[in-house]
Structure formats: C-alpha cells, structure tokens
Amino acid sequence: MEKFTIIIIVSAILLTMPLFWLGFLMTPRPGSSSGNGNPAIFIMFLLIPLFAISVYGWVQLLRAVYIKQSYLYWTMLLIIVHIIVAFIYQVNSFNKYRLVWEEAYKKDFGLIDYEYINGIMTVASIHMNSQFFNANTFMMFITFSIFIGCLIELLRRKMRLRNE
C-alpha cells in the first residue's frame, strides 16, 4: 500500500511540474502582443484533479505511516509559515513584474499607460501567467496539498477518538 501511495504522490508531482512550466512559458514578453485569450486557464483546470490526487496520496501515506499528532501540528505550522513567506515573495514579484511592464511600455511609447497596464495585470490575462506558474507557486501547490492531507488525517483521528 505504501509503495502504491508513494507512486500516486510522485506521479501527481511529476504531472504537475510540467504544467507549471508550460503555464510559465505561455507568458508573452513585456512589450509584445498577446493574441486572443489565455490558454493557460485550461492548465488551471487540469491542476484541480492533480491537487485532489495529491491530497488523497498524502492522506493515504499519513494513514499507512503513523506520525505523532504533535509532528503533524508542527508540519502544518511550518507549512503555514512557508505559504505566508511564499505569498509575500509572490506579491513582491508581482510588483517588480508590474514595474518591468511599465518600463517596457515607456520605452516603446514614451509614456506609461496605467489603464493598459492595469488591464493586462488581471487574473485571466496571459501576461500574468509567469506570476501564477513558477517555482514558487509550484512549491506552494505541493506544500498546500501536504497541509490539507495533514488536516484531513488529524480530523480523521479526532473523529475516531470521538466514536470510541
């Protein structure tokens, strides 16, 4: 069972990694045109079942290999710290990315059109793909799946104790 569970987790991670890379590659360079729509949105839909499979794998692994409850709490606390730090890093990265776009626009047109910049800095914009698909967000994706797996295992243990 443990081998199969590890295969599930590793497979989900190995399938997730190229999707993040592909999403990153779909980002146009600052100053270039973007075409119609954002095909990377479809990648997000593929990530949803991979996230669920990852969580399932972590839950199965945590059930098969008993880990003390205090270790699970510490793991979850460290993951929360990681997610917060990674989120702050991502916000700073976004702010720097926005400046790159402003500079590129000013270089090409002699001024900065903030309305245009605000328009391309939206969630569904193809210009934002590098902000959603990168090594940092990949690690956040993985650690959050571990966090949810730990949470489910802790809740399962609590329910089992309540029923005994």
Q: What value does the CA radius of gyration of the chain take, rounded to a whole number of Å? A: 20
CB-CB contact of 83 with 143 (8 Å): yes
Could you tell me if 31 and 137 are in contact, meaning their C-beta atoms sit under 8 angstroms apart? no
Per-residue pLDDT, averaged over 59-71, amounts to 92
- For residue 146, count CB atoms less than 10 angstroms from its CB and return exposed for 0-12, middle for 13-18, buried for 19 or more: buried
- 32-34-36 Cα angle (round to 5): 160
In the prediction, which pLDDT does 162 show? Answer: 85
pLDDT digits (tens, 9 = 90+) for 110-149: 888 889 888 888 888 888 888 999 999 999 999 999 999 9
Question: Are 86 and 136 spatial neighbours (Cβ–Cβ below 8 Å)?
Answer: yes
Lookup result for tokens 């991670």: 13
Banded model confidence at residue 73, pLDDT cuts 50, 70, 90: very high
pLDDT of 9 over the 80 cut: yes
Domain boundaries, the chain: 2-163
Residue 80 clears pLDDT 90, i.e. is over it? yes
pTM of the model: 0.88
Query: For the chain, what is the largest distance between any 2 Cα atoms, rounded to a whole number of angstroms?
Result: 72
